[in-house]
Structure 1
C-alpha cells in the first residue's frame, strides 16, 4: 500500500509516519506533501492507495484537496483519512459530505491509525 501524508508541519508528518509504521499496517511506500497543491502533484505522478491529510494548511487546505480529489473520476475512489485538531461537528459534517472515509483527532495513537486503516481497507 502506498500512503500519502499531507500536512504543513514536518513534525506532524513524522508523527503520522511513525504511527503508521508502529501500527503494523503493510506499507510499500510513504509519500509526503506540505499542502494540498503539492499533494495533487504527487497524486498526478504516482499511484496512491490511501491519503492522510490535515485540514489547516497554506495554499490549498485539506477540505479543498478532498473536494478536488472526489470530483475527479481518476482519484475519487482513493480513501482519505483526516487527522486534525479541527474536530468540530461542522468540520466533520462538511468532510463527510465531501466523501472523507474517516476522521482521527489529534493527538492519536498507532492503534487508532491501525483501526481506521483496517476499517477502510477491509
Structure 2
C-alpha cells in the first residue's frame, strides 16, 4: 500500500485529505507543521507528501527545502496543497523541489489526477 503524509495546520483539511486518500488506497499519516513532518519522515519516509504552505513552527517551503537539501536516499513526491495561487508562489514551490501543485479547496478527482501526474496513484 502506498503511503502519504498530510502536512497541514488545519485539522479539517487533514481530515478531508485523509478520507480522500484512504478511498484511493493510501495509508495516511498526519503532521501539523513542517517540523513534525520532518520528524515523521525521519521515522518512515512516505511515498508522497501533501504539503500546506502557511503553517506555524516551520512553513511548507522551509520543510521542502530541508527535505530536498538532506542526504536522505529516499525522496518522496511532494504535492503542495495551498491557497497561494499566484504564479510566483507556484514557481517558487517547483524551484524548491515540489513535484505538483493543487489549490484549496480540492476534491477527490483533482487530488487523484495530481497523484497520477506524479506517478503515485
Report if TM-score (shorter chain) is over 0.5: yes
Does the CA-based 8 Å contact 1:79-1:120 persist in structure 2? yes
Does the CA-based 8 Å contact 2:52-2:80 persist in structure 1? yes
Match of 1:72 among 66, 70, 73: 70
Mapped to 1, the partners of 2:41 and 2:73 lie a distance apart of: 8
Q: Can you list the C-alpha shifts for 1:9-42, whole angstroms capped at 9, x where unaligned?
A: 10110111122234xx332x21000000000011
Q: Which has the higher contact order (CA 8 A, sep 6+)?
A: 1
Does the CA-based 8 Å contact 1:70-1:76 persist in structure 2? no
3-state secondary structure, aligned to 1:121: coil
Q: Which residue in the other structure is 1:108 paired with? A: 106
Does the CA-based 8 Å contact 2:45-2:76 persist in structure 1? no
3-state secondary structure, aligned to 2:118: helix
- Count of residues in Structure 1 that have an aligned counterpart in Structure 2: 119
TM-score, normalization by structure 2: 0.92
Task: Give the CA deviation at 1:107.
Answer: 1.1
Q: Can you list the C-alpha shifts for 1:77-111, whole angstroms capped at 9, x where unaligned?
A: 21100111011111111001001001000111100
Change (3 A) 1:39 1:101: same
TM-score, normalization by structure 1: 0.91
Report runs of 4+ in structure 1 exceeding 3 Å deviation: none
Task: Give the CA deviation at 1:54.
Answer: 0.4
Mapped to 1, the partners of 2:88 and 2:45 lie a distance apart of: 31
Q: Which sections of structure 1, spanning at least 5 residues, go unmatched?
A: none
Q: Which residue in the other structure is 2:93 paired with? A: 95
